[in-house]
Structure 1
Amino acid sequence: MKILIVEDEQSLADDLVTYLASEGNICEPAYDYFTAEDKLAAFHYDIVLLDINLPDGNGLQLLHQMREHEPPPGVLIISARDSLDDKLKGLDLGADDYLTKPFHLAEVNARVKALGRRRLFGGKTEIRYHEISIDPESGTARVNEQQPELTRKEFALLQYFVTNQNRVMTKEAIAEHLWGDYMEMAGNFDFIYTHIKNLRRKLTDAGANDYIRTVYGMGYKWSDE
């Protein structure tokens, strides 16, 4: 999943980025309101961890803006404010969950995983597409009874395709989802072709049909048509 962490306490934001990235997520920090606003306008995120009390703005205003995105990201509010009014206001504005500081990183990770299952996979712990099954918790996939050895990026790419099946995904959208801000450092998108080629080979070698379609001049689509 691609996660934006909006937190003005830089050490905490960096700890969250490191911990959640170690779980296979793409994580980006935003240490202030305006940086978060810029990132939310430029990129799509699956989940946003949102501090309400920012030095240069109110996190609830960001939450209001996020509700206008299509599709909107899942939002977990993380804040030192523990009053009932703040919680209710955040939930009324569309937040999915609320966690009061201080908290353990493992608890944040558990909330993020649960939120990801609800938002992306309808609460399912396993995603199935014909003969392919995907386990987001373990980061593994199976083709019938075989388990292809996928890299983290290949697994993320597979999950991204399956959860966006029948939609044309541009190379730019794929790069943004898998690499976040770092995609801007790439001179071209040849690495996308390499990852797609490797994913296609590993899945078909394990016995899967080839569902990755090239849409010339546009990008790629996962479809059985």
Structure 2
Amino acid sequence: MRILIADDEPELLELLKLSLQNEDWIIDTVGNVQDAKVYLDAYTYQIFLVDRTFHGKDCVQELITYGKHKNPSMGILVLSALGSIDEKVQGLEFGADDYLEKPFDIKELRARLIALSRRYVPKVKIFEELEIDLNAKKIKKSGNEVLLSGNEQKLFFYLLERESIVSRNEIMDAIYDNPENITSNAIDELVGRIRRKLHPGIIKTIKTRGYLIAI
């Protein structure tokens, strides 16, 4: 499991990294909002542990929104000295999944992280240099997000979720509102564009039968 911790207290970041990191957990730490966004862009995190304030400014709503946009399946825990009922409720209303007040017990924090990890089990497939997040429907190639058109995305994830040979007619019925107005060549063209953007071998052509993604 990979966890990102964002806090403007260097000593706390070091303590959390030493206390939480183990053979199963990879811990990344950042000390400001911009670095947090850079890491959220670069990696797929299962949990984002974030402070409310950075150098006196409340940035939690901005970071929660950014994080959930990048990875809707990521669990977010707010760790903050702002611990009134209203402040906790506000953090949860912003989109956080849990809220823990500082000072805290490391055992309780670990237990909450484990509970969050159970709720947000990522569905990620790896193929060569591709990292494919089935929940968020996002694809990264060598760490950089690849943008597919609407129909390219529909076709790719339809094939990926089926995990079986799918005919052109089935694909057309699945991704087009009016498939009767679409030629079968349109599917071939979509497949070609996806291969060029992602990897030549990501979609296999099964002669006379259709297409298959087997990862």
TM-score normalised according to structure 1 size: 0.55
Rate the CA distance shift 1:168–1:35 in 2: closer, same or farther, 3 A: closer
Alignment-derived partner of residue 74 in structure 1: 75
Q: Name the Cα RMSD after superposition.
A: 2.9
Distance 1:16 1:6 in 2: 11
Q: CA offsets, 1:163-217, max 9 Å, x none?
A: 43xx45443649xxxxxxxx99xxxxxxxxxxxxxxxxxxxxxxxxxxxxxx975
Distance 2:18 2:127 in 1: 28
Q: Which amino acid aligns with 2:113?
A: V
Give matches, 1:141-152, under 5 Å. none
Please state whether the residue corresponding to 1:110 is helix, strand or coil.
helix
Q: Which amino acid aligns with 1:171?
A: E
Please state whether the residue corresponding to 1:71 is helix, strand or coil.
coil
For these two proteins, the number of residue pairs brought into alignment is 141
Q: Which amino acid aligns with 2:43?
A: F
Q: Does 1:42 align with 2:42?
A: yes
**Contact 2:73–2:120 (CA<8 Å) still a contact in 1?**
no
Alignment-derived partner of residue 54 in structure 2: 54
**Contact 2:82–2:101 (CA<8 Å) still a contact in 1?**
yes
1:171 is matched with which residue: 129, 132, 142?
A: 129
Distance 1:92 1:108 in 2: 21
Q: Which amino acid aligns with 1:45?
A: Y
Gaps of 5+ in 2: 133-141, 144-198, 203-212
Please state whether the residue corresponding to 1:75 is helix, strand or coil.
strand
Q: CA offsets, 1:7-49, max 9 Å, x none?
A: 1111111111122112620110011111112211222211010
Alignment-derived partner of residue 148 in structure 2: none
Q: Which amino acid aligns with 1:36?
A: A
**Contact 2:44–2:71 (CA<8 Å) still a contact in 1?**
no
Q: Which amino acid aligns with 1:25?
A: W
Q: Which amino acid aligns with 2:30?
A: A
Which is greater in Rg? 2
Give matches, 1:1-225, under 5 Å. 1-22=1-22, 24-55=24-55, 57=57, 58-120=59-121, 163-164=123-124, 167-171=125-129, 173=131, 217=201
**Contact 1:6–1:49 (CA<8 Å) still a contact in 2?**
yes
Gaps of 5+ in 1: 121-159, 175-182, 185-214
Q: CA offsets, 1:120-162, max 9 Å, x none?
A: 1xxxxxxxxxxxxxxxxxxxxxxxxxxxxxxxxxxxxxxx8xx
**Contact 1:75–1:97 (CA<8 Å) still a contact in 2?**
yes
Q: Which runs of 4+ in 1 moved over 4 A?
A: 215-218
